[in-house]
Amino acid sequence: MEFDYLIVGQGLCGTLLARQLINAGKRILVIDDGKPDASSRVAGGLINPVTGKRMVRSWLIEELLPAAIEEYSAIGTEIGEQVVHVTDIIDCHTSSEDKMQFYERASDDREFLNSEDQTVAFQHLFHLPFGTGQIKPALHIKIGTILNNWRNRLDASGMLANATFDLESCHISPGSVSWNGIKASGIIFCDGEAANANPYFHMLPWSKDKGEVLIVSIPGIPGNHIYRHGHISIVPWNDGLFWVGASHDWKYETTSPTDTFRTNTISIIEKWLKVPYRIIDHRSSLRPANFDRKPFIGFHPNMPNVGIFNGMGGKGFSMAPYFAKQFAANITNGAPILADVSIERYKKILSR
Ligand SMILES: Cc1cc2nc3c(=O)[nH]c(=O)nc-3n(C[C@H](O)[C@H](O)[C@H](O)COP(=O)(O)OP(=O)(O)OC[C@H]3O[C@@H](n4cnc5c(N)ncnc54)[C@H](O)[C@@H]3O)c2cc1C
């Protein structure tokens, strides 16, 4: 059978793009090696509408947020399980300066920030010497459920190759791709951080960003909020556990979990939590990050049947739904891709 597209990678990007293309009537085959520490499988699945220490609105958030709610809700309906939770982030201020900054920003952005102090409601769970603020709405996505369910669906419909893709055994010419006897018209790389070694796309300005998290049992705290203390968030995870993270490490010596992260995070938890906790797991992964902080989407200027949907960095959960739809519309009817994310902006570099 001949496919329209091979999609390399079934993380968040490969899954959402595959879904859009299938809905548009395209014949696709997703190739994925099932790496347990892929970025999407280690991520917290959090969409925070404000970003950084200064809590400025995330880029394009007014459009990305409704698109994310729509897409994840539709996936939830299809698989018969709610996979998007609209919630809030209880921001536990770490200093009086932090608190003042929140107050200032909240007076500018009442849509997402509320400076009303909820210490009374949470002080039996956390040490809150500087009070709290609230970021709302935030989204929490059950990514494990989405990825596992979609892997099974693709497999059951003959649209999954549980394998490692290698370019050496792939023959690509204009309008035709052949890999291990499988033929397609085009190929789209959704291979996460592995793309920075892909000869078609390694020239894009990739950067390194390792993240570590702890998976923790904290039976005393309710799972209907996200809690934040500086750069560390407590986010509901699977099986009643919590995801506690994450670090951003741009100069790592190892891609594995480190004692340094574990020790630093335990020291924050000890000062923050009033209730007992138990560490269950410690995980790490590499974000598909880039210096531009905007995705890489589109087809190679010299090879128009070789595409990429990648580079989501630390914000894949908000960006992937909106741009998967946009890219699928581009593929099916030539609709434009936003210039900020189109790889057209790197045409010169990629054409060399
Ligand atoms: C610790 C951590 C916390 C994070 N938290 C958040 C968060 O809360 N919110 C948020 O928005 N983002 C978060 N992110 C970022 C988010 O994970 C990414 O933006 C997003 O998941 C990237 O998805 P992807 O599909 O591009 O890549 P990946 O998830 O890496 O998927 C790529 C897939 O391709 C497969 N693959 C690669 N090469 C091959 C090959 N040759 N053959 C076959 N298969 C291959 C991999 O195994 C994998 O399954 C976090 C990241 C980390 C590391």
CATH number at residue 132: 3.30.9.10
Residue 56 resides in a domain: no
Residues 173 and 198 in one domain: yes
Residues 174 and 187 in one domain: yes
Per-residue tens of pLDDT for the chain, all 352 residues: 699 999 999 999 999 999 999 999 999 999 999 999 999 999 999 999 998 878 899 999 999 999 999 999 999 999 999 999 999 999 999 999 999 999 999 999 999 999 999 999 999 999 999 999 999 999 999 999 999 999 999 999 999 999 999 999 999 999 999 999 999 999 999 999 999 999 999 999 999 899 999 999 999 999 999 999 999 999 999 999 999 999 999 999 999 999 999 999 999 999 999 999 999 999 999 999 999 999 999 999 999 999 999 999 999 999 999 999 999 999 999 999 999 999 999 999 999 8
Residues 225 and 118 in one domain: yes
Residues 215 and 133 in one domain: yes
The structure tokens listed for 317 are 């959960």
Residues 214 and 131 in one domain: yes
The Cα–Cα gap between 64 and 49 comes to: 9
Q: How much distance in Å is there from the Cα of 163 to the middle of ligand 1?
A: 17
Positive or negative CA dihedral for 236, 290, 75, 152? Answer: negative
Residues 304 and 345 in one domain: yes
Q: What is the pLDDT of residue 295?
A: 98
Q: Is 338 exposed, middle or buried (0-12, 13-18, 19+ CB in 10 A)?
A: middle
Residue 249 resides in a domain: yes
Residue 154 resides in a domain: yes
Look at ligand 1, atom 2, and give the residue with the nearest C-alpha: 43
Tell me, using a 6 A CB cutoff, whether residue 165 lines ligand 1: yes
Q: Which residues have a Cβ under 8 Å from the Cβ of 330 and sit 6 or more positions away?
A: 298, 336, 337
Residues 164 and 300 in one domain: yes
Picking from 77, 64, 286, the residue whose alpha carbon sits closest to that of residue 192 is 286
The structure tokens listed for 142 are 């059950």
Domain boundary among 259, 286, 313: 286
Residue 190 resides in a domain: yes
Residues 276 and 213 in one domain: yes
Residues 135 and 211 in one domain: yes
Residues 200 and 268 in one domain: no
- If one residue of 151, 287, 294 were mutated to test the ligand 1 pocket, choosing by the most ligand atoms within 8 A of its CB, it would be 287
Residue 104 resides in a domain: yes
Contact 27, 4 (CB under 8 A): yes
Determine if the peptide bond prior to 236 is cis (ω within 30°): no
Contact 48, 205 (CB under 8 A): no
Picking from 256, 231, 196, 205, the residue whose alpha carbon sits closest to that of residue 42 is 256
Distances from the Cα of 57 to the Cα of 24, 43, 71, angstroms: 32, 21, 21
Residues 338 and 234 in one domain: no
Look at ligand 1, atom 21, and give the residue with the nearest C-alpha: 40
Domain around 272: 85-139+207-286
Q: Which residues have a Cβ under 8 Å from the Cβ of 257 and sit 6 or more positions away?
A: 212, 282, 283, 284
Look at ligand 1, atom 44, and give the residue with the nearest C-alpha: 32
Q: How much distance in Å is there from the Cα of 273 to the middle of ligand 1?
A: 30
**Helix (H) or strand (E) segment spanning residue 341:** none
Picking from 276, 318, 279, the residue whose alpha carbon sits closest to that of residue 295 is 318
Residues 113 and 211 in one domain: yes
Q: What is the pLDDT of residue 225?
A: 97
Q: How much distance in Å is there from the Cα of 171 to the middle of ligand 1?
A: 26
The residue type found at 155 is: D
For the chain, what is the domain count?
A: 2
Q: What is the CATH number of the domain that holds 323?
A: 3.50.50.60
Residue 69 resides in a domain: no
pTM here?
0.97
